[in-house]
Structure 1
Amino acid sequence: MPRRALDNPLVLAILGLLLERPMHPYEVLADLRRRSEYQAAAITRGSVYDIVSALAAAGWVSEVARHRAGNRPERTVYDLTAAGRAELVRRLDDQIRHPQREFTPFLGAVAYLGALGPDGAVDALTERARRLGERTAADERRLAEVLADGVPRLYVIEAEYALGVARAELAWIDAVLADIRGGVLAWPEVK
């Protein structure tokens, strides 16, 4: 299990948080959820604890303290080791330098947009744009709140990136809708 856990995309986020300060896994989970809805959607309490356990087994984090508050379970606080920092830097450098093609469910659906017909495509894309616009506005508010709380911008730069991607998608949808409505994107005759 540890090797598989070390392949989890959340490893990078957890190592990054521990670079900021030592914390226990529940704090890691809370910080991830507070800072970014995009990360929060991909995590569970169990996955964070499993990943931290794998990080400790790999020597990338080490236990620095144990705390107990009242009747609550004992919480183990972890800190990044020199090997963990080196792994964080290695992974960051690799992922930033080498763009990957990411296949999203939306990309898969767009490939067959024609099956909806022009009216169905307009309806579906209009609805997606509305929902994406609402989510983007909420994400902008959340980011502003996090920054106002004093979280350094560099610690939430991924939220800025995600907003940029969402805005680009909205602009693309608007352009496609204009092309459909204007007859520029034509549907072939169906037999």
Structure 2
Amino acid sequence: MPSDASRNGLVLPLLGLLVEQPSHAYGLTSRLRERYAHLPVTRSTVTSLLKALERSGLVASRQPERVGNRPPRTAYELTEAGMADFRRKVEAGLRDGQAASVDFIMAVAYASVLPAGDAASLLDARADRLDRELLPPERERPGGVPEAHMLEAAYWRTIVAAEIGWIRTLASRIRSHDIEWPAAPKEN
């Protein structure tokens, strides 16, 4: 785990699940595994992250509760500072995340925490940035290098171009209200 727990790749989805509802470490671990099978999730990591996020003031713990015969569990909820940090992380992931990255995927997963117009504008700006960074096919391969030695360049171009197209479609659908967009959650 990074020395700065807020840089852990599980923080964004963890905070996102707490936006949906307060929960305890076991419940959060289960929901993370169900929803994001591609992320490496352990209960000990989730517990450590929750404690670090609590020390940072981003989440607050509730009094431990016992349900049935189970041991008492401490539930956590997002604080006002946690919601503000979560929104900043979503904005940064939409705007700055690398193409085809987990950071971008997680930001998209929680884009609805932002007002629809803000999310669409961030997506448009991202598509514009990726368009500028995309090399034309003739510049993908240095002169004299056989195509067979640079197949990954064409692959990457295809992946980034597909992401750009998908982003532009998503932004358009958000703006046209083709996607039912919830009201942005209020600060706690």
Alignment TM-score, normalising by the size of structure 1: 0.50
Q: What SS class does the counterpart of residue 45 from structure 2 fall into?
A: helix
Offset at residue 33 of structure 1 (A): 1.2
* Structure 1 unpaired stretches of 5+: 105-153, 158-183
> Higher helix share goes to which structure?
1
Q: CA deviation at 1:63?
A: 1.4
Q: Distance in 1 between matches of 2:55 and 2:26?
A: 18
Give the distance between the partners of 2:101 and 2:27, measured in 1 at CA.
31
Whether 1:22 and 2:16 are equivalent positions in the alignment is: no
Q: Give the secondary-structure state (helix, strand or coil) at the position aligned to 1:79.
A: strand
1:63 to 61, 64, 79: 61
Q: 1:57 to 1:44 in 2, by over 3 A?
A: same
- CA shift for structure 1 position 30: 0.8
- Matching residue within 96, 99, 112 for 1:98: 96
C-alpha contact (below 8 Å) 1:25/1:48 kept by paired residues: yes
In structure 2, list runs of 5 or more residues that go unmatched: 103-108, 113-145, 150-188
Identity of aligned residues (%): 39
1:9–1:101 Cα change, 3 Å: same
Kept after mapping to 1: 8 A contact 2:59/2:82 = yes
Matches within 5 A, 1:167-178: none
Q: Can you list the C-alpha shifts for 1:2-55, whole angstroms capped at 9, x where unaligned?
A: 95322101010110000001111111111111112123xx11111000000001
Q: Distance in 1 between matches of 2:2 and 2:19?
A: 21
Q: 1:186 to 1:24 in 2, by over 3 A?
A: closer
Deviation of the 1:74 alpha carbon: 1.6
The more displaced of 67-76 and 85-94 is: 67-76
Name the stretch that deviates more: 3-12 or 42-51: 3-12
1:26–1:76 distance in 2 versus 1, CA, 3 Å: same
Q: 1:78 aligns to what? A: 76
For residue 33 of structure 2, what is the aligned residue in structure 1? 33
**CA distance in structure 1 between the partners assigned to 2:100 and 2:35 by the alignment:** 23
- Work out whether residues 2 and 8 of structure 2, in 8 Å CA contact, stay in contact via their aligned partners in 1: no
Retained in 2: the 8 A contact 1:2–1:57? no
Whole-angstrom distance in 2 between the partners of 1:63 and 1:2: 22
Secondary structure of 1:78's match? strand
1:139-154 matched pairs, under 5 angstroms: none
Q: Give SS of 1:38's match.
A: coil
TM value normalised by structure 2 = 0.50
How many positions carry a matched residue from both structures? 110
Q: Which runs of 4+ in 1 moved over 3 A?
A: 69-72, 101-104, 184-187
Q: 1:75 to 1:100 in 2, by over 3 A?
A: same
Q: How far has the Cα of 1:71 moved from its partner?
A: 4.8
2:170 is aligned to none
Aligned to 1:87: 85
Structure (1 or 2) with the larger CA radius of gyration: 1
